[in-house]
Amino acid sequence: MAHTNVLLREDVEDLGARGEIVRVRAGYARNYLLPRKLAVEATASNVKQIEQERKALMKKEAAERSTADMQAEQLRSLRLSFERKVGEHGLLYGSVTSMDIAEALRERGYEIDRRRISLREAIKETGDYTVPVRLHREVTVEIPVIVTGEGGGATATAQPAATESNAAAEATRADNAEGSPAPGEESAATVE
Protein backbone atom coordinates (compact mmCIF):
# COMPACT_ATOMS: atom_id res chain seq x y z
CA MET A 1 0.00 0.00 0.00
CA ALA A 2 1.24 3.48 -0.87
CA HIS A 3 1.54 5.92 2.00
CA THR A 4 2.37 9.59 2.18
CA ASN A 5 3.20 12.13 4.87
CA VAL A 6 0.89 15.13 5.28
CA LEU A 7 0.74 18.13 7.57
CA LEU A 8 -2.67 18.54 9.14
CA ARG A 9 -4.09 22.05 8.83
CA GLU A 10 -7.15 21.19 10.94
CA ASP A 11 -7.91 18.70 13.69
CA VAL A 12 -8.99 15.41 12.14
CA GLU A 13 -10.72 13.02 14.50
CA ASP A 14 -8.92 9.69 14.99
CA LEU A 15 -5.95 10.95 12.95
CA GLY A 16 -4.23 13.86 14.64
CA ALA A 17 -4.21 17.48 15.72
CA ARG A 18 -3.55 20.57 13.67
CA GLY A 19 0.16 21.09 12.98
CA GLU A 20 1.13 17.40 13.19
CA ILE A 21 2.82 15.51 10.39
CA VAL A 22 1.11 12.13 10.00
CA ARG A 23 1.55 9.15 7.68
CA VAL A 24 -1.64 8.21 5.84
CA ARG A 25 -2.60 6.14 2.84
CA ALA A 26 -2.13 7.99 -0.44
CA GLY A 27 -5.77 7.56 -1.49
CA TYR A 28 -7.07 8.98 1.80
CA ALA A 29 -4.81 12.01 1.40
CA ARG A 30 -5.59 12.48 -2.31
CA ASN A 31 -9.36 11.95 -2.09
CA TYR A 32 -10.26 13.38 1.31
CA LEU A 33 -7.62 15.40 3.16
CA LEU A 34 -6.11 17.45 0.33
CA PRO A 35 -9.32 18.46 -1.53
CA ARG A 36 -10.94 19.60 1.73
CA LYS A 37 -7.77 21.53 2.64
CA LEU A 38 -7.50 19.61 5.90
CA ALA A 39 -3.85 18.83 5.11
CA VAL A 40 -0.96 19.61 2.74
CA GLU A 41 1.68 17.24 1.44
CA ALA A 42 4.84 17.06 3.51
CA THR A 43 7.40 16.93 0.70
CA ALA A 44 11.07 17.81 0.96
CA SER A 45 10.55 21.01 -1.01
CA ASN A 46 8.09 22.53 1.44
CA VAL A 47 9.43 21.33 4.81
CA LYS A 48 10.57 24.88 5.73
CA GLN A 49 7.18 26.28 4.86
CA ILE A 50 5.56 23.55 6.93
CA GLU A 51 7.70 24.45 9.95
CA GLN A 52 6.70 28.12 9.63
CA GLU A 53 3.06 27.11 9.28
CA ARG A 54 3.38 24.89 12.34
CA LYS A 55 4.64 27.83 14.41
CA ALA A 56 1.79 29.99 13.15
CA LEU A 57 -0.67 27.17 13.85
CA MET A 58 0.63 26.82 17.41
CA LYS A 59 -0.01 30.53 18.03
CA LYS A 60 -3.46 30.22 16.49
CA GLU A 61 -4.10 27.13 18.61
CA ALA A 62 -3.24 29.01 21.81
CA ALA A 63 -5.56 31.87 20.86
CA GLU A 64 -8.42 29.47 20.06
CA ARG A 65 -7.87 27.64 23.36
CA SER A 66 -8.15 30.85 25.37
CA THR A 67 -11.29 31.86 23.44
CA ALA A 68 -12.79 28.40 24.08
CA ASP A 69 -12.01 28.69 27.80
CA MET A 70 -13.78 32.05 28.02
CA GLN A 71 -16.78 30.75 26.08
CA ALA A 72 -16.91 27.66 28.33
CA GLU A 73 -17.15 29.88 31.41
CA GLN A 74 -20.12 31.69 29.89
CA LEU A 75 -21.84 28.46 28.83
CA ARG A 76 -21.51 26.81 32.27
CA SER A 77 -24.25 29.08 33.65
CA LEU A 78 -26.59 28.34 30.74
CA ARG A 79 -29.62 26.01 30.91
CA LEU A 80 -31.63 25.13 27.82
CA SER A 81 -35.34 24.25 27.92
CA PHE A 82 -37.36 22.65 25.17
CA GLU A 83 -41.14 22.26 25.16
CA ARG A 84 -42.47 19.55 22.86
CA LYS A 85 -45.70 17.65 22.27
CA VAL A 86 -45.76 14.54 24.42
CA GLY A 87 -47.58 11.26 23.97
CA GLU A 88 -48.19 8.55 26.51
CA HIS A 89 -45.43 7.61 28.97
CA GLY A 90 -43.54 10.89 28.44
CA LEU A 91 -42.43 10.04 24.90
CA LEU A 92 -42.04 13.00 22.55
CA TYR A 93 -43.66 13.38 19.16
CA GLY A 94 -40.44 13.97 17.29
CA SER A 95 -37.25 14.57 19.25
CA VAL A 96 -34.70 17.13 20.41
CA THR A 97 -31.61 16.90 18.19
CA SER A 98 -28.18 18.49 18.14
CA MET A 99 -29.52 20.87 15.48
CA ASP A 100 -32.25 22.03 17.91
CA ILE A 101 -29.65 22.60 20.63
CA ALA A 102 -27.38 24.52 18.22
CA GLU A 103 -30.34 26.71 17.18
CA ALA A 104 -31.21 27.42 20.83
CA LEU A 105 -27.60 28.39 21.49
CA ARG A 106 -27.61 30.63 18.40
CA GLU A 107 -30.73 32.42 19.71
CA ARG A 108 -28.79 33.20 22.89
CA GLY A 109 -25.82 34.57 20.98
CA TYR A 110 -23.47 31.54 20.81
CA GLU A 111 -22.39 30.38 17.35
CA ILE A 112 -21.60 26.69 17.86
CA ASP A 113 -21.59 24.18 15.02
CA ARG A 114 -24.02 21.31 15.57
CA ARG A 115 -21.22 18.79 14.94
CA ARG A 116 -19.54 20.01 18.11
CA ILE A 117 -22.57 18.97 20.17
CA SER A 118 -21.92 15.40 21.29
CA LEU A 119 -25.43 14.03 21.42
CA ARG A 120 -25.21 10.26 20.90
CA GLU A 121 -28.82 10.00 19.83
CA ALA A 122 -31.75 12.37 19.74
CA ILE A 123 -33.62 13.02 23.00
CA LYS A 124 -37.01 11.29 22.73
CA GLU A 125 -38.35 11.51 26.31
CA THR A 126 -39.12 14.27 28.76
CA GLY A 127 -36.63 14.83 31.54
CA ASP A 128 -33.33 16.45 32.46
CA TYR A 129 -30.25 15.71 30.37
CA THR A 130 -26.63 16.82 30.28
CA VAL A 131 -25.28 17.42 26.78
CA PRO A 132 -21.50 17.76 26.21
CA VAL A 133 -20.40 20.50 23.80
CA ARG A 134 -16.83 20.31 22.45
CA LEU A 135 -15.63 23.91 22.01
CA HIS A 136 -12.02 22.92 21.41
CA ARG A 137 -10.27 19.56 21.37
CA GLU A 138 -9.19 20.17 24.98
CA VAL A 139 -12.26 22.14 26.17
CA THR A 140 -15.64 20.46 26.62
CA VAL A 141 -18.51 21.96 28.58
CA GLU A 142 -21.66 20.13 29.71
CA ILE A 143 -24.92 22.03 29.24
CA PRO A 144 -28.06 21.02 31.16
CA VAL A 145 -31.05 20.47 28.86
CA ILE A 146 -34.61 20.21 30.19
CA VAL A 147 -37.27 18.68 27.96
CA THR A 148 -40.88 19.23 29.05
CA GLY A 149 -44.29 18.57 27.58
CA GLU A 150 -46.42 21.32 26.07
CA GLY A 151 -48.67 22.99 28.60
CA GLY A 152 -46.86 21.31 31.51
CA GLY A 153 -48.77 18.07 30.99
CA ALA A 154 -45.77 15.76 31.28
CA THR A 155 -44.78 14.16 34.56
CA ALA A 156 -41.20 15.42 34.28
CA THR A 157 -42.40 19.02 34.63
CA ALA A 158 -43.89 18.32 38.05
CA GLN A 159 -40.42 17.46 39.35
CA PRO A 160 -37.72 19.66 37.81
CA ALA A 161 -34.92 17.32 38.92
CA ALA A 162 -36.41 14.23 37.27
CA THR A 163 -34.05 12.02 35.30
CA GLU A 164 -34.80 9.62 32.48
CA SER A 165 -35.46 6.70 34.84
CA ASN A 166 -37.58 8.84 37.19
CA ALA A 167 -39.72 10.05 34.29
CA ALA A 168 -40.36 6.44 33.21
CA ALA A 169 -41.20 5.44 36.80
CA GLU A 170 -43.62 8.37 37.14
CA ALA A 171 -45.35 7.36 33.91
CA THR A 172 -45.70 3.79 35.20
CA ARG A 173 -47.18 5.04 38.48
CA ALA A 174 -49.68 7.20 36.59
CA ASP A 175 -50.81 4.15 34.58
CA ASN A 176 -51.11 2.03 37.72
CA ALA A 177 -53.07 4.74 39.56
CA GLU A 178 -56.09 4.04 37.35
CA GLY A 179 -56.16 0.35 38.29
CA SER A 180 -54.90 -1.51 41.33
CA PRO A 181 -51.40 -0.57 42.54
CA ALA A 182 -48.51 -2.81 41.56
CA PRO A 183 -46.85 -4.92 44.30
CA GLY A 184 -44.50 -2.76 46.36
CA GLU A 185 -45.98 0.41 44.85
CA GLU A 186 -47.64 1.54 48.08
CA SER A 187 -44.38 1.32 50.05
CA ALA A 188 -42.57 3.36 47.36
CA ALA A 189 -45.27 6.04 47.53
CA THR A 190 -44.96 6.38 51.31
CA VAL A 191 -41.18 6.64 51.17
CA GLU A 192 -41.36 9.64 48.81
| CATH value at residue 18 | 3.40.5.10
Same domain, 157 and 114: yes
By the 8 A CB rule, do 53 and 21 touch? Answer: no
Same domain, 67 and 88: no
Same domain, 92 and 168: yes
By the 8 A CB rule, do 124 and 154 touch? Answer: no
Looking at the 3D structure of the chain, how many domains does it have? 2
Same domain, 35 and 59: yes
**Coil, strand or helix at 88:** helix
Same domain, 124 and 156: yes
Predicted local distance difference test score (pLDDT) of residue 152: 58
Same domain, 37 and 86: no
Sequence-ordered strand ranges (E) for 34-126: 39-41, 80-84, 91-96, 123-125
What pLDDT digit, counting tens, does each position of 63-117 carry?
988 998 998 998 888 999 999 898 877 788 888 999 999 999 999 988 888 888 9
Q: Structural domain of residue 169, as residue ranges?
A: 78-191
Same domain, 96 and 176: yes
Same domain, 14 and 88: no
Last residue of a domain, one of 71, 100, 116: 71
Predicted local distance difference test score (pLDDT) of residue 46: 64
Same domain, 63 and 151: no
Same domain, 36 and 102: no
Same domain, 89 and 27: no
Last residue of a domain, one of 71, 92, 111: 71
Distance CA 110, CA 71 (A): 9
**Coil, strand or helix at 11:** coil
What pLDDT digit, counting tens, does each position of 17-75 carry?
877 889 999 999 999 999 998 988 887 666 677 777 778 878 888 898 899 899 899 88
Predicted local distance difference test score (pLDDT) of residue 185: 41
